[in-house]
Structure 1
Amino acid sequence: MEHFFEVTDIPSVMALRERFAPVATEMVDLEDALLRVLAEDFRAPGDIPGFDRSTMDGYAVRADGTYGAGEGSPAYLNVVGSVAMGQVPDHRVGPGEASRIATGGMLPEGADSVMMVEHVGVLDEGTIEVYRSVAPGQHVVARNEDAAAGQVLLSAGRRLRPQEIGLLAACGVGSVRVHAMPRVGIISSGDEVVPVDREPLPGQVRDVNSLTLAGMVRQAGGRPQRYGIVPDQYDRLLDTCRRALAETDMVLVSGGSSVGTRDLTVQVLAALPRSAILVHGVSISPGKPTILAQCGEKAFWGLPGHVTSAMVVFTVLVRPFLARIGGCRSDDDVRVRARLTRNVASAQGRVDFVRVRLVRRDDTLWAEPVLGASGLIRTMVAADGLVAVDLNDEGLEKGAEVDVLMMLS
């Protein structure tokens, strides 16, 4: 087993994602596919909508029969029929002719556009006058405008939102192949950690991390599996890590990278088969003592014991790795541009992630730094996202335009 002790920069950590392959795939019913990751390209089985369709109530016409029409010189058309919703027209539209049609109706043969009812005067049951001209294709959705047969509509690696579910439904899809939801084992370590329903004694803390991380895993499309609280005992931690690695696709040990217990985590990793420490410290604040190892084909993270640090590290580093093994072609990161409401100081040599809340004033989106000690969880509750201060910068000035990495909601 090899390991390193120099601090690794964030881009170098992110480059290690390629070492971890996506999880297996499975078929799921379309109604259960929301927020799942598509495992293969989806091609349109046919043209959508499959027929030329009106987007307005009015009259299906030939555009060339309306050219030059205006309020003072209307064009006169003969009404040759009406299109019932959901039916194929039984007539055609020739030169100088029109057919009544409702929104969504199928254009009769010969018609190439729709005249809005607002621009039509009815002279009698068989004759109308039109006061505007229309162009070919106006107020019409072509038979293959939404999708052409064989066209790739959705690429593999895309997370399925309601709109993608709707598109699949429009294509008659009842089930779809997606990646399985990655199982993430979560272990809380430390002699001072007690269950959340227990009153902590002086020097003890409740197990906030495992529940917080479990929620973040769910938000990121994973399936958390908590393994409880493990004291700072080598044999207990080794056994629990072995079990978690056997049963899940990624393991998070919370607390195992803090100063007091980091060596214990390293010893455990040394005893695990086919393990290698890839990162032993990251140039990130908070979260510098983070550990990333590879155990077989799986990622193993040692996260800080402070819950706020663990949440920042998860958002910046772990979430993209989870997206990778979940089959996503992107990180699922959401970033918005905003301006800082005040100066932000930073120490060089690390990337500082500042918690901010977003506020809109006078049509401008502002990022307002959340004040308070870095270890306070309420600062994360108040935050909408994180702003990075580069390791070569001493800070950011008030009014500077910044990218805000959003916390998932």
Structure 2
Amino acid sequence: MLDKKYLLPQDALKLILHNLKPGCLTVETIPIEKAYGRVTAEDILSPEDLPGFERSTVDGFAVKAFDTFGAKESSPVYLTVKGDIAMGAIPHFSLSNGEAASIATGGMLPEGADAIVMIEHVNVISNDLIEVLRAVSPGENVIFRDEDAKKGEVVIKAGHRLKPQDIGALAGVGITTVKVFKQPVVSIILTGDEIIPHTEKVTPGKVRDVNSFTLAGLCYENGAVPLKMGIVRDEYDKLKETVQKAYEISDIILITGGTSAGVKDLTAKVIDELGSPGVLFHGASIKPGKPVIGAVCNGKPVFGLPGHPVAVYICFELFVKPVIHHMLKVTDKNFKKTVKAKISRNIHSQAGREDFIRVYLEEHNGEIWATPLLSKSGLIMSLVKAQGIVRIPSELIGLSEGQEVLIEIID
């Protein structure tokens, strides 16, 4: 039977967030060239209209639309060519009734023009005369001066993680710097007498460091800066010294290993001594990841993560990632990529606990099937092979073969 003292993951996360202040990081101003992936600290307003002038979306002729009304191949409309508009140049003439001007894609419309006739719908009779074979309406094939952005309009909201297209838009309206939240520094501490650096040769009883690399990558992906603090032996004084140092130089602390109830597991005690309120939960109703520790110590979040690589990944997604976004005041909705699939076999689960099952996907007869990778959480390769995660809610006792499920895609 499930131990009732363990919280469901959503309730455990609420405890952490309740004790954390959103947007608690400092703000800095940086060039837009360095702002990819950073989180905006304020609304960004466009200082000007974009594109700032009426421009053509096609190669053709700028016209007054009403001059073309009724034009068709059997009875074309004849217009006088007033001039040519060079790319990047300002037209120094205007169009009167019955006149047109040659223009390329992206060219600026002359005064008096309100539409573009595509070159495919024109016969050039001479240098100064064309026949129009198809009518156009006002605004056709034209981008207006403020159609992309209006001066004073909010183009990017506060709390938005800047994407490449966002940076391009900022450059387009002439913005060169942005105010963003400082990236949180996340200390990563490995514990365990059995852990050795990845550069060393494995001997019986030893395993190479896997978790610091997984966690560092997850930090980078979510807008944080990882700081590896090394491998600490299962000794109270050494662990406390390292954790205290991490507390002084980072915004979030992650400690892997030493979270279960063994004699050497000192993590919870060391965390609780860091500051108030200390450990908020020790264990959650999840599999894998049940022994996870969540704490807030004088405003800083601290997590004790299980030592198994898959559990580390699941716990980061459930707890650390939302905390990073909370601290950065990220307002973007975190829509996970999902796909519906049929489960390929029965899976047992325990009521009152959320299970996270790794799966790979295959297509058979036009249907997507999810095959569980039912390996132990200490096997990192099961996560490498997995294409998605099936979450079995706490109210269910399993899944039946052929049942449709929602798969959270692993990028």
Q: Which TM bucket (shorter chain)?
A: over 0.9
3-state DSSP class of the match of 1:215? helix
Superposed counterparts of 1:28-177, under 5 Å: 28-177=30-179
Unaligned runs of 5+ in 1: none
Q: C-alpha deviations, 1:197-251, integer Å up to 9, x for none?
A: 3334433322222222122212222111111111222221111111111110000
Distance (Å, rounded) in 2 between the aligned partners of 1:110 and 1:391: 67
Q: C-alpha deviations, 1:25-77, integer Å up to 9, x for none?
A: 21222111111111111100010000011000000111111122111121121
Partner AA of 1:19 in structure 2? N
3-state DSSP class of the match of 1:68? coil
Partner AA of 1:270 in structure 2? D
Instruction: Say whether the 8 Å CA contact 1:25–1:39 is kept in structure 2.
Output: yes
Query: Which residue pairs with 1:228 in the alignment?
Result: 230
3-state DSSP class of the match of 1:353? strand
Instruction: Say whether the 8 Å CA contact 1:341–1:398 is kept in structure 2.
Output: yes
Q: C-alpha deviations, 1:333-373, integer Å up to 9, x for none?
A: 53222313513512222111111234566776554433533
Unaligned runs of 5+ in 2: none
Q: C-alpha deviations, 1:144-188, integer Å up to 9, x for none?
A: 010000000001111111101100111112221111111001111
Distance (Å, rounded) in 1 between the aligned partners of 2:372 and 2:330: 31
Distance (Å, rounded) in 1 between the aligned partners of 2:79 and 2:263: 86
The offset of 1:317, in angstroms, is: 2.2
Q: 1:130 to 1:364 in 2, by over 3 A?
A: farther
Instruction: Say whether the 8 Å CA contact 2:197–2:209 is kept in structure 1.
Output: yes
Query: Which residue pairs with 1:351 in the alignment?
Result: 354
Distance (Å, rounded) in 2 between the aligned partners of 1:368 and 1:94: 70
Q: 1:269 to 1:371 in 2, by over 3 A?
A: closer
Distance (Å, rounded) in 2 between the aligned partners of 1:266 and 1:182: 23
Instruction: Say whether the 8 Å CA contact 1:41–1:155 is kept in structure 2.
Output: yes
Name the % identity: 42
Query: Which residue pairs with 2:11 in the alignment?
Result: 12
The offset of 1:292, in angstroms, is: 0.4
Distance (Å, rounded) in 2 between the aligned partners of 1:302 and 1:115: 66
Q: 1:164 to 1:348 in 2, by over 3 A?
A: same
Moved more, 235-244 or 342-351: 342-351
Q: 1:196 to 1:33 in 2, by over 3 A?
A: same
Superposed counterparts of 1:336-347, under 5 Å: 336-345=338-347, 346-347=349-350
Give the alignment partner of residue 197 of structure 2, picking from 184, 195, 198: 195
Query: Which residue pairs with 2:322 in the alignment?
Result: 320
Would you say how many aligned residue pairs link Structure 1 and Structure 2?
Answer: 405
Query: Which residue pairs with 1:308 in the alignment?
Result: 310
Partner AA of 1:39 in structure 2? A
Instruction: Say whether the 8 Å CA contact 1:333–1:406 is kept in structure 2.
Output: no
Query: Which residue pairs with 2:246 in the alignment?
Result: 244
3-state DSSP class of the match of 1:77? strand
Distance (Å, rounded) in 1 between the aligned partners of 2:318 and 2:403: 21
Moved more, 238-247 or 18-27: 18-27
Partner AA of 1:77 in structure 2? L
Moved more, 370-379 or 95-104: 370-379
Q: 1:61 to 1:401 in 2, by over 3 A?
A: farther
Partner AA of 1:11 in structure 2? Q
Q: 1:397 to 1:113 in 2, by over 3 A?
A: farther
Instruction: Say whether the 8 Å CA contact 2:343–2:405 is kept in structure 1.
Output: no
Instruction: Say whether the 8 Å CA contact 2:308–2:377 is kept in structure 1.
Output: no
Distance (Å, rounded) in 2 between the aligned partners of 1:366 and 1:93: 63
Superposed counterparts of 1:342-381, under 5 Å: 342-345=344-347, 346-359=349-362, 367-381=370-384
Q: 1:5 to 1:226 in 2, by over 3 A?
A: farther
Instruction: Say whether the 8 Å CA contact 1:222–1:326 is kept in structure 2.
Output: no
Q: 1:208 to 1:316 in 2, by over 3 A?
A: same
Instruction: Say whether the 8 Å CA contact 1:319–1:331 is kept in structure 2.
Output: no
Partner AA of 1:247 in structure 2? I
The offset of 1:316, in angstroms, is: 2.5
Distance (Å, rounded) in 2 between the aligned partners of 1:379 and 1:19: 35
3-state DSSP class of the match of 2:390? strand
Distance (Å, rounded) in 2 between the aligned partners of 1:154 and 1:63: 35
Distance (Å, rounded) in 1 between the aligned partners of 2:173 and 2:205: 60
Tell me the TM-score normalized by structure 2.
0.92
The offset of 1:295, in angstroms, is: 0.6
3-state DSSP class of the match of 1:72? coil
Tell me the TM-score normalized by structure 1.
0.92
